[in-house]
Amino acid sequence: MLTVAALGLSLLTACGGRDSASSNTLRIGYIAGSAASLPDMIAKERGIFEDAGLNVQFVNTDSGPGLVNLLLSESVDVTWAPTSNVLAATEKVQIVAGTVRSYGFELVRRKGFADSSTSLSYPDNLQALAEGRVGISATASYAQVMAEGMFNEAGVAPGNLDFLSVGVGPTSRGALKSGQVDLLMANPVTAAELQVAGDGDPVISTRDIPALKNLPEAAYVTKRGISKAQEEKVAKYLEAAEEAITWAQSESNIEDFDALLTQVYGLSPDDAEATAERYNPGEGNLIGEYGLSFDQGGFDELVAILLKGKLLTEKVSYDEATALIEPR
């Protein structure tokens, strides 16, 4: 009887230990090579998640729609995701924290395609590129939304464009270099790598087009109806992200942040320098505009663009989409 009792006690203790360990586990969505994942990478490398008592597990996918699908399948508890993809699934997901306003997509032209366009200014340069095949991370991704917006603002009907899904990072660079696509919607890191390698020339950024530069590119989201316990963990996660952002924005940490950035993305010194110069002249890092606020004006502008492009069939209100959770 004593043996059985001791065994029962040990099993209860073991089960309790597992429950305790799982109670602080938080699964988050992640895209390797995406600049929008920077707060997560900083929090991981700096031990901020650990200090917050969170056991964060990264679940990788290759596109914005993939992040939302991870959430819908309950493979993750919270994720950042492109706002356009979030809005398409508003009935099932909710925005819990602000924009991850980090960078503008750059349209990169393949060497040898429409070389004469380099002597033209906007919007003539985009009109000269309208016959090209445009590489995007995935169909209906934010990259496609922004590409359509860029060309539409330049007077080119999006229906005239040919979009191809090429993923992100090395696969997207390979698609441009091989001629599979003529143009690529790239983040600043990929654009810098292509330029340094001599495989592509950046044409224009969404940050250069007034109608596009203030849109909420991404947001932190959960499924609707999460429990109070999950809300608490998400709140701690957001606090960790906010702490990571604050650390990276401090001038005293610039050298450490640049080293972390180079390490996370595997950049060469030339790639790192080109990224800093092209993204944010004078500030030198990719996190200058990150924040957890969620601007309703930019939200409404994005909804209007999505409705115009028929990526939304009806208007989604700010109040319908958001259920904000305060970092704590």
Residue type, 104: G
Banded model confidence at residue 283, pLDDT cuts 50, 70, 90: low
Q: Is the peptide bond before 123 cis (omega within 30 degrees of 0)?
A: yes
Q: What is the average pLDDT value for the chain, to the nearest integer?
A: 85
Q: Which residues are 58's β-sheet partners?
A: 28
Of 156, 154, 135, residue with least CA distance to 144: 135
Give mean pLDDT, residues 96-115. Answer: 86
What whole-number distance in Å separates Cα of residue 287 and Cα of residue 174?
A: 26
More confident site: 245 or 258: 245
What whole-number distance in Å separates Cα of residue 170 and Cα of residue 96?
A: 31
Distances (CA, A) of 201 to 15, 51, 275: 57, 43, 13
Banded model confidence at residue 16, pLDDT cuts 50, 70, 90: very low
3 state SS of 326 = coil
Output the pLDDT for position 77.
Answer: 97
Residue type, 100: V
What whole-number distance in Å separates Cα of residue 184 and Cα of residue 108?
A: 5
Question: H-helix or E-strand containing 136?
Answer: strand 133-136
Query: Does the structure show a pLDDT above 90 at 287?
Result: no
**Tokens linked to 235:** 């709140």
What whole-number distance in Å separates Cα of residue 146 and Cα of residue 265?
A: 23
The 10s digit of each residue's pLDDT in 158-208 is 777 899 999 888 899 999 999 999 999 998 888 888 988 999 998 998 888
**Tokens linked to 247:** 């650390």
What whole-number distance in Å separates Cα of residue 283 and Cα of residue 102?
A: 13
Query: Does the structure show a pLDDT above 80 at 234?
Result: yes
Which residue shows structure tokens 């429950």? 19
Least confident stretch, 88-92, 164-168, 187-191, 237-241: 187-191
Banded model confidence at residue 249, pLDDT cuts 50, 70, 90: confident
Banded model confidence at residue 322, pLDDT cuts 50, 70, 90: very high
Domains and CATH numbers, the chain: 25-103+216-321 (3.40.190.10), 106-208 (3.40.190.10)
Overall pTM surpassing 0.85 (yes/no) = no
* Orientation of helix 142-153 relative to helix 296-308, angle to 10°: 80
DSSP letters for 253-269: GHHHHHHHHHHHHT--H
